[in-house]
A and B are shown apart, each in its own frame.
Chain A
Amino acid sequence: EAGVVQSPRYKIIEKKQPVAFWCNPISGHNTLYWYLQNLGQGPELLIRYENEEAVDDSQLPKDRFSAERLKGVDSTLKIQPAELGDSAVYLCASSPGAFSGRSDTQYFGPGTRLTVL
Chain B
Amino acid sequence: GQQVMQIPQYQHVQEGEDFTTYCNSSTTLSNIQWYKQRPGGHPVFLIQLVKSGEVKKQKRLTFQFGEAKKNSSLHITATQTTDVGTYFCAWGTYKYIFGTGTRLKVLA
| A binding-site residues for B, Cβ under 8 Å | 31, 40-45, 48, 55-56, 91, 93, 98-99, 104-111
CA distance A109 to B99 in the complex (A): 19
Residues of B at the A interface (CB closer than 8 Å) are 33, 41-45, 48, 88, 90, 93-101, 103
Are B94 and A98 interface neighbours, CB within 8 A? yes
- Does B45 contact A107, Cβ atoms closer than 8 Å? yes
B94–A42 contact, CB under 8 A?
A: no
A56 touches B95 (CB 8 A): yes
Partner of B100, one of A42, A107, A110: A42
Give the shortest distance, in Å, between A104 (CB) and chain B (any CB): 6
Query: Considering the chains assembled together, what is the distance between the CA atoms of A108 and B103 in angstroms?
Result: 19
CB-CB under 8 A from A93, the residues of chain B are 43
In the complex, are the beta carbons of B100 and A104 less than 8 A apart? no
* Cβ–Cβ contact B101 & A42, under 8 A: yes
Q: Which residues of A contact B88 (CB under 8 A)?
A: 42-43
Using known A-B contacts A42-B88, A91-B43, determine if residue A106 contacts B96 with beta carbons closer than 8 Å: yes
